[in-house]
Structure 1
Amino acid sequence: MAFAATAAAGLAGLLMGTLGVAPSAAAVDNQACRPDGMYTTPGVDVPYCNVYDTNGREQMGADHQRRVIGYFTSWRTGKDGTPAYLVNNIPWDKVTHLNYAFAHVASDNTLSVGTDGPNNASTGMTFPGVAGAEMDPSLPYKGHFNLLTKYKKQYPNVKTMVSVGGWAETGGYFDDSGKRVNSGGFYSMTVNADGSVNQAGINTFADSAVNFVKKYGFNGVDLDYEYPTSMKDAGNPLDYSISNAKRASLMKGYAALMKTMREKLDRASAADGKYYLLSVAAPSSGYLLRGMETFQVTQYLDYVNIMSYDLHGAWNKYVGPNAALYDDGKDAELAAANVYGTSQYGGIGYLNGDWAVHYFRGAMPAGRINLGVPYYTRGFQNVQGGTNGLWGTASTTNCPAGSGLTTCGDGAVGIDNIWHDLDDNGKESPAGSNPMWHAKNLENGVVPDYLSKYGVSDTSLKGSYARNYSAALTSPWLWNADKKVFLSTEDDQSIGAKADYVVNQGVGGAMIWELAGDYKWDATANGGKGEYVQGNTMTSLLYDKFKSASAYGATRSTIALPQQTLPIDVSFTNFALGDNNYPINPKIHIVNNSTVTLPGGTEFQFDYSNSAPSNAADQSGFGSKVIRADHTGNNIGGLKGTYNRVSLKLPTWQSLAPGASVDVAFVYYLPVSTPANWTVNVGGTLYGIAGDYTRGTTAGTGSPSPSSSASASASASPSQSASPSASASASASASQSASPSASAGTCSGAPSWNAGTTYATVTKVSWKGHYYQNKWWTAGEDPSLSGAWGVWTDLGTC
């Protein structure tokens, strides 16, 4: 990602500096609501305050402090005889967002759900006789979209997103007959055959996406691109003929897609006075993320939905949990790859949800991250070794047709695989995939009534399915010792523990794939079947855990940053491909777009996620070193803290003139998202950089006032930055000591600003002969240095 210096705040600052024009009140208010670290389309007054409060937190209703995002799938209509899951089955009072899965990228690069007609589940199908699924006759379309719009009128706080892509439709799409067309898709839409970015295709798609959300009443777009990674043979094997040839350009195309989507949605938001969201479903595996550079698209997203599942499955022989929250130091796949034994990795296991949260936390506030939870199982048969199957192996050469594999995991089948896919020959793909209500029936020895509808011929239960639970992994599983079947599950215990994790870590919420897998007990005493059926047990638990939780984390940096910024662009470039990318060794490309020369000895500092160990270094003579590590050692039980902070300096003999650039060869050993929280120390004056998009900063050109120099230098001195306990309050004290006494400029109409006071509510203060009022929570920020875009509004002299 190139850190651009063209945010709206920067533009406003430029206007004030060159034309003497103050930004409008509306622009100031909207910027006050912008989430920390999020890009703003230049020149556009984006109506953030329609969705976000003045702390940059999403508004979701009084009883929703964290997100509960549910994927709703288009294909569970009940027309094939299997249980339907329709819009009326959604627990609308428990969720905050619904992602409609899936739309696709058609051959003409437009967003599509196929041709309108009575068989189109999205726009034309009806569900006669189903109570609650009656169409709203006032709408020009039918199907799921009609019902989503109908129910949103009753639950106006719930936001709907159209989700594009998915595993089966990343490199192609299903036509109206249900046949997969191997054209269209993200790979072709974003990258040309010669490896160049297909900007024309991206523009076509983004324009159609804007039109689509307006036509059908969606609140935004969710992109599920699996996967823009340079790792060979990643993603759907049906896409390899296209994707493998373009590996070197996929992230470049992905970044161009996200930037274009953000800008077109921003412009539509400003024109419509209605803010449109943009999110992605992101991988959680360190293997996939290693080939995705620094996942430099987070700046364009409202939030990331981490697919913190599919971490173990029948694509290989290593038997493990689908969605472990933590590493236990025993992961068989990682052990086989000597991850635990390679010192540069620091013993860090990277196939767990906590690792993935910390990966994204390096580039985003915790509140813009959502932890994925699966409402489905994955499983193996003929398992050898392990503890009740866990960390054993299950291998076969009988791999699904079209998979491209000669050896794979021995996936469970039949009664242990009712939510199966079909391979290229129309045969069951072994995977151990089941809704959680079916897993509960297996666990409790219940032979349910729906098996024949899923094509299960042998409906007898053989052996028993004993529930196991690992508190170290936060993972339950079923083990059938007679059949040697292992099914990785979720239930109220693991979902409750994950909800507690979300709350305690300040994470934005949970994302569910998919709502139709949730369960409840249908008791015969109430006229039911005496078996587990579709329900809302786990979703209700998430809601209950979140409704009284504290507000999520809305700031990215854990130390005070300078308020004044310089237009210095930083990007990470020259990534090697795939398996050649070890250690990860890009170039840090620094461009001085300011009006001053950066002298030799200029110090840059930044944070990178502690998803990677604290052993990053450069190979260019810049003396890069980690000066603070929030966590050391392995990550059994979870990573502590957030960051590793790095210092690097221009060599004493090398200055950087305006417009000049320099490259630093940088090495690290596990993937990290785009480093953030940059500071630049120029001759004793500390700046941020504009492209960090940090809330409350002001744009500068490189000629600070003496007062701002003193305050900036004091607020983040090298000694403070190197201290793990450095905090905003420490910065405030330092700032105060560099300022006049606390009584200076006190006016009779308001108390004096005090650097040691936390202003959690809107408060009027006096300082240096002026009245000021804060727009959001603040501590230690000198009102006289706040600027038009900062936390303090200057109310005039007193």
Structure 2
Amino acid sequence: FDDFNGQFCNQGKYPLVNAVKNALKGSGGFNPAPVIPTFRPTFRPSPNTPIFIRPTRPTQFTNRPIFTQPTIRSSSTTKAINIIDEREFTERPRPSTSKKLVVCYHTNWAQYRVGQAKFLPENIDPFLCDMIIYSFAKLEGDRLEPFEWNDLSTSWSKGMYERTMALKNQNPNLKILIAVGGWNAGSGPFSSMVKSNVLRKNFVQNSLKFVRDNKFDGLDLDWEYPGSREGSSPSDKFLFTQLVMELKNAYRPFNLLLTAAVGAGYETISNGYEIDKISKHLDYVNLMSYDLHGSWESFLGHNAPLYPRRNESPDQAKLNVEWAVNYWLSQGCPKEKLLV
């Protein structure tokens, strides 16, 4: 989504992301231009609002509505099993509200693009982002596993993980996380894992070993979505909270980061997240405020609208960045943790 080679726009490398970064971190401060929407907005970006950037996925990853979910069946499984007491955990100090973050996802399928669109770890500017999230690893039972054949290094070649970690040689302050899941991974593998106390606890320990062995700074959970899509059940909303709490308890002694990519649509949120609880244990909450409209609809809509249009129905008026941000904040997510 950007001119990473600096060959097309005549504005140097990464003109788009650099514009965002300069607006956030420039010496003149962040003074957003006035916005004149069709209604009176209740939210404005502020100097303390972090910016979160996810790359556009290939067509097979994006051709779906994130806001329509299957009807939730009544079930006796809606009560979570053996939910641990939050008082057992000490909350990590919240990130400083003065820190402005640029967080970028790097997708491991970008290596297969052709021509000048081919994108490798060496194409990443190590000073462009404060945090890079490598996407994706896969969930195999109770194990975190590499997805691509060349993620890991061998005796004859450096793997994508090692090549990405090499960016720290130039910027030691750079944080690099590994993401697990994604749209194509579905909800089923996560649901099967969290329902079993044994599998869930095994995953916590296995993921900790995977993160440390591969020198990542933490884990990003990209379960799309708890309590929604085929293979998931209503109880997953509570079991996701359980998973987050157990992961953070295991990661905290090693000062590892734990983040989650979360939905922006009302049904997705309502079915999947105990916002106030998971926000206590996540270092950052990555709001997927895109794909709010698309080819699955019979009308035209912006992919990531900031505000609703005047003629939208009540349900449609929730499909915008402003509504999603305000809802997450109103339900207990600290603003300094919410990344857009």
Counterpart of 2:302, as a letter, is P
Q: Is the 8 A contact 1:170 1:187 kept in 2?
A: no
Q: Is the 8 A contact 1:199 1:256 kept in 2?
A: no
Q: Which residue of 2 aligns with 1:222?
A: 220
Q: Structure 1 residues 202 and 68 mapped into 2: Cα distance closer, same or farther (>3 Å)?
A: same
Q: Structure 1 residues 316 and 2 mapped into 2: Cα distance closer, same or farther (>3 Å)?
A: farther
Higher helix share: 2
How many residue pairs get aligned? The number is: 256
Quote the Cα distance in structure 1 between the aligned partners of 2:127 and 2:117: 22
Q: What is the deviation of 1:310? A: 0.9
Q: Which residue of 2 aligns with 1:290?
A: 270
* Runs (5+) with no aligned partner, structure 2: 1-82
Q: Is the 8 A contact 1:74 1:121 kept in 2?
A: no
Counterpart of 1:57, as a letter, is S
Counterpart mapping for 1:23-38 below 5 A = 34-35=93-94
Q: What is the deviation of 1:298? A: 1.4
Report whether the alignment pairs 1:311 with 2:292.
Answer: yes
Q: Which residue of 2 aligns with 1:468?
A: none
SS at match of 2:126: coil
Counterpart of 1:72, as a letter, is H
Counterpart of 2:176, as a letter, is T
Quote the Cα distance in structure 2 between the aligned partners of 1:203 and 1:82: 44
Q: Which residue of 1 aligns with 2:149?
A: 120
Q: Is the 8 A contact 1:311 1:323 kept in 2?
A: yes
Q: What is the deviation of 1:6? A: 4.3
Q: Is the 8 A contact 2:84 2:242 kept in 1?
A: no
Report whether the alignment pairs 1:264 with 2:270.
Answer: no
Q: Structure 1 residues 364 and 278 mapped into 2: Cα distance closer, same or farther (>3 Å)?
A: same
- Residue 325 of structure 2: which of 357, 366, 369 is its match? 357
Q: Is the 8 A contact 1:262 1:278 kept in 2?
A: yes
Residue by residue, what CA displacement relative to the aligned partner does 1:693-740 show, whole Å, maximum 9, x if unpaired?
xxxxxxxxxxxxxxxxxxxxxxxxxxxxxxxxxxxxxxxxxxxxxxxx
Quote the Cα distance in structure 2 between the aligned partners of 1:82 and 1:188: 41
Q: Which residue of 2 aligns with 1:73?
A: 107
Q: Structure 1 residues 90 and 57 mapped into 2: Cα distance closer, same or farther (>3 Å)?
A: same
Quote the Cα distance in structure 2 between the aligned partners of 1:8 and 1:157: 26
Q: Structure 1 residues 210 and 256 mapped into 2: Cα distance closer, same or farther (>3 Å)?
A: same
Quote the Cα distance in structure 2 between the aligned partners of 1:222 and 1:67: 16
Q: Structure 1 residues 158 and 145 mapped into 2: Cα distance closer, same or farther (>3 Å)?
A: same
SS at match of 1:98: strand
Counterpart of 1:367, as a letter, is E
TM-align CA RMSD? 2.7
- Residue 168 of structure 1: which of 177, 184, 197 is its match? 184
Quote the Cα distance in structure 2 between the aligned partners of 1:203 and 1:339: 38
Q: What is the deviation of 1:81? A: 6.0
Q: Is the 8 A contact 2:265 2:318 kept in 1?
A: yes
| Relative contact order higher in (CA < 8 Å, ≥ 6 apart) | 2
SS at match of 1:101: strand
Report whether the alignment pairs 1:299 with 2:280.
Answer: yes
SS at match of 2:252: helix
Residue by residue, what CA displacement relative to the aligned partner does 1:422-460 show, whole Å, maximum 9, x if unpaired?
xxxxxxxxxxxxxxxxxxxxxxxxxxxxxxxxxxxxxxx
Counterpart mapping for 1:561-710 below 5 A = none
Q: Which residue of 1 aligns with 2:190?
A: 186
Report whether the alignment pairs 1:209 with 2:225.
Answer: no
* Runs (5+) with no aligned partner, structure 1: 10-30, 36-55, 60-64, 126-136, 173-184, 192-197, 270-274, 341-348, 372-798
Counterpart of 1:87, as a letter, is P
Counterpart of 1:112, as a letter, is E
Q: Which residue of 1 aligns with 2:261?
A: 281
Quote the Cα distance in structure 2 between the aligned partners of 1:4 and 1:101: 30
Higher strand share: 1
Quote the Cα distance in structure 2 between the aligned partners of 1:222 and 1:141: 26
SS at match of 2:336: helix
Greater Cα radius of gyration, structure 1 or 2: 1
Q: Which residue of 2 aligns with 1:327?
A: 308
Q: Structure 1 residues 223 and 360 mapped into 2: Cα distance closer, same or farther (>3 Å)?
A: same
Counterpart of 1:355, as a letter, is W
Residue by residue, what CA displacement relative to the aligned partner does 1:207-246 show, whole Å, maximum 9, x if unpaired?
11111111111100000000113xxxx44xxxx2x23xxx
Q: Is the 8 A contact 1:77 1:121 kept in 2?
A: no
Residue by residue, what CA displacement relative to the aligned partner does 1:30-88 show, whole Å, maximum 9, x if unpaired?
x7xx11xxxxxxxxxxxxxxxxxxxx4189xxxxx411111101112247667311111
Quote the Cα distance in structure 1 between the aligned partners of 2:241 and 2:152: 31
Q: Which residue of 1 aligns with 2:235?
A: 249
- Residue 96 of structure 2: which of 57, 62, 79 is its match? 57
Residue by residue, what CA displacement relative to the aligned partner does 1:497-518 show, whole Å, maximum 9, x if unpaired?
xxxxxxxxxxxxxxxxxxxxxx
Q: Is the 8 A contact 2:113 2:119 kept in 1?
A: no
Task: Give the TM-score normalised by the residue count of structure 1.
Answer: 0.30
Q: Is the 8 A contact 1:87 1:144 kept in 2?
A: yes
Q: Which residue of 2 aligns with 1:150?
A: 166
- Residue 90 of structure 1: which of 95, 118, 124 is its match? 124
Counterpart of 1:208, as a letter, is N
Q: Which residue of 1 aligns with 2:75?
A: none
Quote the Cα distance in structure 2 between the aligned partners of 1:67 and 1:215: 26
Q: Is the 8 A contact 1:75 1:121 kept in 2?
A: no
Report whether the alignment pairs 1:368 with 2:337.
Answer: yes
Residue by residue, what CA displacement relative to the aligned partner does 1:565-618 show, whole Å, maximum 9, x if unpaired?
xxxxxxxxxxxxxxxxxxxxxxxxxxxxxxxxxxxxxxxxxxxxxxxxxxxxxx
SS at match of 1:164: strand
Q: What is the deviation of 1:150? A: 1.2
Q: What is the deviation of 1:91? A: 2.2
Counterpart of 2:246, as a letter, is T
Residue by residue, what CA displacement relative to the aligned partner does 1:550-571 show, whole Å, maximum 9, x if unpaired?
xxxxxxxxxxxxxxxxxxxxxx
Quote the Cα distance in structure 1 between the aligned partners of 2:216 and 2:204: 15
Q: Structure 1 residues 5 and 258 mapped into 2: Cα distance closer, same or farther (>3 Å)?
A: closer
SS at match of 2:318: coil
